[in-house]
A and B are shown apart, each in its own frame.
Chain A
């Protein structure tokens, strides 16, 4: 009962926070007009643009739904490939020292290169279609996943490892039965961080080449001076990212003990 009350209180604070942000935004943009020339359209204008963009193809040739589906395709493709390759890479780097010595210098070098910097070479190597855009997302996701998985495995409790060793567990069995379960919170944190990074990469990916997508919509809107549409694109990216993170948290609650 007490927990439920506390939960409701936090929900109330979160709600008030959103109301305050929207109110401040409205005051700044519509009442005091502190940004000149419509550079910050008010929330009412954004809502109107959002609703009209559901049916309107102007100025980028597609409706909002088409852009969302297009971006989701790129993000999810790059994310899945990044996670599928990043998870084992992080695990094996952390658990097997020779692999760590072999891979880490290259990884440390590659992880400092931002997604945008990959555009010219990816264009030459992979062209301009889905696989090229997914590759830019992959770079972001791979780095985030490896870093978190690596940290999680490395922080396995030494006492638990000793206990497993006393009971005769092999090195691989210790990884499977001790290190991986204890690293699950880190792994899920990595998956969530990487999801955010995947969405961060969508602008860079659609800067490469695009006919549709939220990043593309934002760029075209920018070229036509449509600040309202730029903000609609930003908010849509934020909302979808938050929703996907929420889904991932639900999955985390199933797999990670004590998270409820």
Chain B
């Protein structure tokens, strides 16, 4: 081969290498960023759901000013993309649900707090005329779970593999000594589950989104299971990126001080909570909620506030979720170790005691 061709290949490779290096190094690196008010900037990952509502309170009550930080809120549609964005260094702190099981072990995020004390709204729904509903409650230990082995076997279940609805669906099946192989578990995104189920597809809809599940209940579909009904807790967690935790610890503590003050306000006044949830959903561009639904959501859920944050084992739910997926072979055992290493209790302790 001619020398010129070899030279071209070597030069081309070197250019590619440098370009990719620059691209990769540049992603998401913010350093000691400062917000528009001259205070330390926190890039907060958020989703337009209940778990992120305290962010609205922090802004409305000027708690960011009080605790000396600026907020840059970055919206995500669900936990999957939010976890990936954390891996790319696009946000520093944020409340997340099942997406945390990827963000913590894979992208080395730190779990610093659990968001709620009680939660409900992740439900499994069936058609009112289905065999499952006709079978009624057959489990003495779970009086609010409906169905029996015969009626569920072979049915089509709609859910999203790898998120809370999948976890809930598999747990529901396990109550009847069934597994994923005993049903047709069809993977769909939440919005499509709702559309497909209403259009007559599938026998069971596993929905992690309370608003979609409540809409189905309002339309006459029957709740046959759900995490709370199956005695399984549902939980969201506050994550911090490794970089932010190591290099901006004090700002992280300040953020949690503001967060708990916001949660205290929300827990203290139901009407205020209702208004804030509505305001947050509206500001986030959501149109799929009504007053009754928001009231119900506020009744179901309660934030961990300054009086409860130090109670209980932090990260217990997330550990349970990861263990569940390790046990069924979806994740390898190494994630358990990463999970245990990345639970940090010091931030909340310092936020509430210093």
A-side interface residues toward B, CB under 8 Å? 12-13, 16, 20, 23-24, 27-28, 32, 34-39, 57-61, 119-120, 123-124, 127-128, 207-211, 216, 219-220, 222-225
Contact = CB atoms under 8 A, between A and B. Distances in A.
B80 A123 contact: no
Interface of A is mostly: helix
B87 A120 contact: no
A132 to B, nearest CB: 9
Contact of A223 (B20, B162, B191, B196): B162
Given A37-B106, A127-B201, A211 B87 contact: no
A209 B88 contact: no
B330 A58 contact: yes
5 contacts: A16-B9, A37-B87, A38-B106, A57-B329, A209-B192
Contact of A24 (B13, B84, B87, B330): B13
A28 B20 contact: yes
Interface of B: 1, 5, 9, 12-13, 16-17, 20-21, 24-25, 80, 83-84, 87-89, 102-103, 105-108, 158, 160-163, 180-181, 184-189, 191-192, 195-196, 199-202, 325, 329-331
A71 to B, nearest CB: 14
Choose among A57, A58, A59, A123 the residue with the greatest number of B CB atoms under 10 Å from its CB: A123
A59 B331 contact: yes
Contacts of A216: 187
A219 B84 CA distance: 13
B186 A210 contact: yes
A110 B9 CA distance: 43
B196 A128 contact: yes
Given A209-B201, A211-B184, A225-B102, 6 more contacts: A35-B24, A59-B330, A60-B161, A123-B195, A128-B196, A209-B158
Nearest to B166: A223
A222 B80 contact: yes
* A-B CB proximity, top 10 nearest: A223-B162, A59-B330, A225-B102, A225-B106, A34-B24, A58-B329, A124-B199, A209-B186, A209-B188, A220-B161
Contact of B201 (A38, A61, A123, A207): A123
A128 B158 CA distance: 10
A21 B186 CA distance: 37
B17 A61 contact: no
A24 B16 contact: yes
A224 B325 contact: yes
Contacts, number: 110
Contacts of B160: 223
Nearest to A28: B20
A35 B16 CA distance: 14
Contacts of B187: 209-211, 216, 219-220
A39 B192 contact: no
A12 B17 contact: no
Contacts of B189: 207
Contacts of B20: 24, 28, 34
Contact of B195 (A12, A120, A211): A120
Contacts of A13: 5
B107 A223 contact: no
Given A28-B21, A58-B330, A123-B199, A223 B192 contact: no
Given A219-B187, A220-B162, A127 B199 contact: yes
Contacts of B200: 127
A53 to B, nearest CB: 13
Nearest to B243: A36
A60 B162 CA distance: 9
A55 to B, nearest CB: 13
Nearest to B192: A123
B13 A211 contact: no
B192 A120 contact: yes
Nearest to B185: A211
Choose among B25, B88, B192 the residue with the greatest number of A CB atoms under 10 Å from its CB: B192
Contacts of B192: 119-120, 123, 207-209
A1 to B, nearest CB: 19
B188 A36 contact: no
Given A28-B21, A124-B195, A211-B185, A223 B102 contact: yes
A242 to B, nearest CB: 21
B281 to A, nearest CB: 21
Nearest to A207: B189
A208 B195 contact: no
Given A34-B24, A58-B329, A128-B202, A225 B107 contact: yes
B202 A224 contact: no
A59 B332 CA distance: 9
Nearest to A58: B329
A6 to B, nearest CB: 13
Contact of A32 (B13, B21, B105, B325): B21
